[in-house]
Amino acid sequence: MKVLYILDSLNRGGAETLILDICRNGRRCGLDASVVATGGGELEDEFRSSGIPFHQILRRSALDRELIRNLRELIRSGSFDVIHAQQPVEAIHGLLALRGVAAAPKLILSHHIAAKSNLKNRLTTRYLVPRVAINLAVSQHVLDWALRTMPFAHKAKWKVVANGVDLARLQPSARGAGIRTELAISETAPLLGMVGNFYSGDRKDQLTVCRALSQVFAAQPAAQFLFVGDTGSDGGRMYNECLALCNDSGIAERVHFTGKRSDVADVLQALDVFVFSSRAEGMPVAVIEAMAAGLPTVLSDIEPLREVTDGGRVARLFRTGDPSDLAEKILELLSDPKESELLGQAAHEWAVQEYSIDAHIRRLYDVYAGLI
């Protein structure tokens, strides 16, 4: 099965990490994967060394005619069965590139989040959804949201394939104490953390975490917190609000904003509790990674996070946007190490069973095979 994945960026995000995991593991599951990137990013070297054919054709405008022509030539020469895009901008270029291609491969568009996008993306999505071969929702929640909010989204053209993670990638390195040493955090200090980029608007909600931390730190005087993720570009305003709140609350020395990092496995190993505060998700890879690493997790009580945790069975869910309830759930776990250990073990077993990269690729393969 020859599949060409189109990525508009190679930044360290959930979709990009997922495709990289597919490229590294696809062959043993019957996938012959290639990638064409229309942008760059910090994962570029990892894609180039992943062992799959890698192409880079930079997009220079919102609708790039030269990119369309070059994609068409790549598709003609590659004998692909499927073209798989992760965003509307990728899919629209792929759709136009397929025009005039004899025995054209099938085009699939993944939908990664259940949230209102900007007007340009909404119009592009409206155009694409009826025209691609399959729309792939990363969770049942995303599918339900799409069918509810897009009157043009015919159910027959949708499939659900949950995200997966490469468990081998989550093995920590042998670099010693890692981030605790880097930030001068004692090995015995309770360390909490959240992995997720900062965004403007109603997506990630790091501000609620910052509001909860004063209560947590009052009860746990040695505790500290890590925010791992991009703090600039689209999320600059949220980051600045969090920074100001921590300074005003007198907790800034115990809250660390690390920016993007390539050593997430080492970071997860250093944590005692994983926190994820959000208002809109699809199927967050960061949460799956934390569960797979065996961490007890405290998550916003929203439908996609209930879905990924078996209805909340393998996590503690707090009332979305409620810092007091978040602090209470965190302190319950910190005060009961045995319960934390059992919760982390249950999360690990669930993640391995449902969200391994092999399980994801097998489900993808079935969708691809059904098309061709």
Q: What is the pLDDT of residues 144-156, one digit of tens each?
A: 999 999 877 788 9
Cβ-contact 262, 42 below 8 angstroms: yes
Does the pLDDT at position 179 exceed 80? yes
Could you tell me if 367 and 349 lie in one domain?
no
Same domain, 197 and 317: yes
Same domain, 264 and 162: no
Please state the rounded mean pLDDT for residues 350-368: 95
Q: Are 192 and 210 in contact (CB under 8 A)?
A: no
Based on the domain organization, do 123 and 60 belong to the same domain?
yes
Q: pLDDT tens across 2-60, in order? A: 999 999 999 988 899 999 999 999 999 899 999 999 999 999 999 999 999 999 999 99
Q: How many domains does the chain have?
A: 2
Element (H, E) at 56: strand 54-56
Q: Say what the pLDDT of residue 298 is.
A: 98
- Looking at residue 372, its pLDDT comes to 86
Residues 201 and 284 in one domain: yes
Please compute the mean of the pLDDT values over residues 158-186 and round it to a whole number: 86
pLDDT at 178: 87
* The pLDDT value given to residue 234: 65
Pairwise CA distance, residues 6 & 75, whole Å:
11
Reported as type and span, the H/E element at residue 87 is none
On whether both 85 and 101 belong to a single domain, the answer is yes
- 181 and 313 inside one domain: yes
Looking at the fold, whether 194 and 131 belong to one and the same domain comes out as no
pLDDT at 176 over 60: no
Could you tell me if 92 and 225 lie in one domain? no
Mean pLDDT over 182-186 rounds to 94
| pLDDT average, residue stretch 184-208 | 92
C-alpha 337/C-alpha 315 separation (Å) is 15
* 361 and 349 together in one domain: no
pLDDT of residue 354: 95
Do residues 367 and 136 touch, judged by C-beta distance below 8 A? yes
pLDDT of residue 201: 74
Give the per-residue pLDDT at 235.
61
Which pLDDT score, from 0 to 100, does residue 111 have?
A: 95
Beta bridge partners of 111: 137
Check whether residue 202 and residue 151 sit in a common domain. no
Full residue range of the structural domain in which residue 209 is found: 168-354
Same domain, 150 and 42: yes
pLDDT in tens, 271-328: 999 999 999 999 999 999 999 999 999 999 999 999 999 999 999 999 999 999 999 9
62-68 contacts, C-beta under 8 A, 24 or more apart? 62/89, 62/120, 63/92, 63/93, 64/38, 64/93, 67/38, 67/93, 68/93, 68/96, 68/97
Predicted pLDDT of residue 174? 57
Task: Read off the pLDDT of each residue in 219-237 and give the average, rounded to a whole number.
Answer: 88
CATH of the domain at 144: 3.40.50.2000
